[in-house]
Amino acid sequence: MNRKLITIAAACLITFFTVSMAFALGGGNGRKGKFLYRKNCYKTCHEEKVGGLSPANKTQAEWTAIFSDTSKIPCHDKWPAVPEKDLNDIFTYLHDYAKDSPSPAKCS
Amino acid sequence: MSESSQKISRRDFFKASGLIAAGAVGGGAVLGGLRKARAAAVPVKPWDSKFSACDMCFNKCGLIARVEDGVVTKLDPNSKFLKSRGMLCARGNAGIDQVYDPDRLKYPLLRVGERGEGKWKRISWDEALDLAAQKMEAVRKDYLPCGHLFSAGTDLHSQFVGRFAEVYGSFNVTSHESLCLVSNNRAFLDTFGEVPFADVLNSKYIVMAGANRFEALVTPDSIDLMTAMRENGCKLVTLDPRYTKTAALSDEWYPVKPGTDMAFMLALAHVIIGEKLYDPQWVEEKTYGLEQLAEHVKQYTPGFAADQCGIPAEAIARIARELAEAAPAAMIYPGRRSSDYEDSTQIRRSFAIVNGLLGNWDRPGGLLAARVVGLKGVPYEAPWYDENHEDRIDADKVPMMFEHEGSFLLTRDAVLAEDPYAIRGWFIYKTNPMATVPNRKKTIEMMNKMDFVTVVDIAMSDTAWYADLVLPSQSYLERYDPCSGLQGSSACACVVKRDPVIEPLYESRSLFDVMKGIANRMELGEYFDFTIPEYREKQLRELPGAEKILDRDGVYYNPSKVYGIYDGRIYKTLSKKIELYNQRYEQMGIDPLPVYTVPTKVPANRFRLVVGRNALVTQGSTANNALLHQLLPTNTLWINPNAAKKFNITDGDLVEVSSSVGRQEIKAEVTDRIREDTVYMLSGFNTLSTRQHLAHGNGASIAEILEGGYDTVTGNAALHTTFVTVTRKVA
Confidence bin at A76 (pLDDT 50/70/90): confident
Give the domain CATH number at B45: 2.20.25.90
Q: Domain boundary residue among B342, B369, B396?
A: B369
Average pLDDT, chain B: 94
Structural domain range at position A52: 2-96
Indicate the number of domains in chain B: 4
- B382–A102 CB contact, under 8 Å: no
Give the domain CATH number at B306: 3.40.228.10
Contact B153, B309 (CB under 8 A): no
In whole angstroms, give the CA distance from residue B464 to residue B529: 28
As beta bridge partners, residue B680 has B610, B638
Interface of A with B (CB under 8 A): 29, 31-32, 35-36, 38-39, 42-43, 47, 51-52, 59, 99-100, 102-104, 106-108
Contact B265, B696 (CB under 8 A): no
In a domain, A16, yes or no: yes
Q: What is the pLDDT of residue A39?
A: 84
| SS3 state of residue B286 | helix
**Residue B167: C-alpha distances to residues A32, B162, B428 (Å):** 13, 9, 17
Mutate to test the interface with B, among A90, A99, A106 (most CBs of B within 10 A): A99
Q: What is the pLDDT of residue B299?
A: 98
Q: What is the pLDDT of residue B4?
A: 34
In a domain, A105, yes or no: no
* In a shared domain, residues B389 and B423: yes
Q: pLDDT tens digits, residue range B545-598?
A: 999 999 999 999 999 999 999 999 999 999 999 999 999 999 999 999 999 999
In a domain, A18, yes or no: yes
Contact B714, B178 (CB under 8 A): yes
* In a shared domain, residues B398 and B518: yes
CA-wise closest residue to B262 among B219, B207, B299, B300: B300
Give the domain CATH number at B685: 2.40.40.20
The stretches in chain B having pLDDT less than 70 are 1-44, 731
In whole angstroms, give the CA distance from residue B674 to residue B661: 24
**Strand segments (E) across B541-676:** 556-557, 578-579, 607-610, 637-639, 654-658, 663-670
Q: pLDDT tens digits, residue range B211-253?
A: 999 999 999 999 999 999 999 999 999 999 999 999 999 999 9
> Above 0.85 for ipTM, yes or no?
no
Shortest Cα–Cα distance, A7 to chain B (Å): 33
* In a shared domain, residues B333 and B222: yes
In a domain, B258, yes or no: yes
Shortest Cα–Cα distance, B193 to chain A (Å): 7
Q: Pairing between strand B109-111 and B469-472?
A: antiparallel
In a domain, A101, yes or no: no
In whole angstroms, give the CA distance from residue B271 to residue B261: 16
* In a shared domain, residues B451 and B523: yes
Helix segments in chain A, DSSP class H: 2-22, 30-37, 60-68, 84-96
Shortest Cα–Cα distance, B378 to chain A (Å): 6
In this structure, how many other beta carbons lie within 10 angstroms of the beta carbon of residue B645?
A: 12
* In a shared domain, residues B209 and B355: yes
In a domain, B718, yes or no: yes
Task: Name chain B contacts of A102, Cβ cutoff 8 Å.
Answer: 189-190, 400, 584
In whole angstroms, give the CA distance from residue B474 to residue B158: 13
Q: What is the pLDDT of residue A15?
A: 42
Q: What is the pLDDT of residue A46?
A: 63
Q: What is the pLDDT of residue A75?
A: 73
* In a shared domain, residues B217 and B358: yes
Q: What is the pLDDT of residue B46?
A: 82
Q: What is the pLDDT of residue A24?
A: 75
* In a shared domain, residues B86 and B138: no
- B377–A52 CB contact, under 8 Å: yes
Indicate the number of domains in chain A: 1
In this prediction, residues A79-94 reach a mean pLDDT of: 86
Of A43, A100, A107, the CB nearest to B573: A100
* In a shared domain, residues B7 and B139: no
In whole angstroms, give the CA distance from residue B686 to residue B664: 9
Of A51, A59, A102, the CB nearest to B400: A102
Give the domain CATH number at B417: 3.40.50.740
CB pairs under 8 A between A and B: 47
CA-wise closest residue to B256 among B246, B268, B243: B243
> Is B603 exposed, middle or buried, given 0-12, 13-18 or 19+ CB atoms closer than 10 A?
exposed
Task: Name chain A contacts of B168, Cβ cutoff 8 Å.
Answer: none
Confidence bin at A45 (pLDDT 50/70/90): low
Mutate to test the interface with B, among A29, A31, A101 (most CBs of B within 10 A): A31
Structural domain range at position B69: 3-99
Task: Name chain A contacts of B402, Cβ cutoff 8 Å.
Answer: 103
Q: pLDDT tens digits, residue range B194-210?
A: 999 999 999 999 999 99
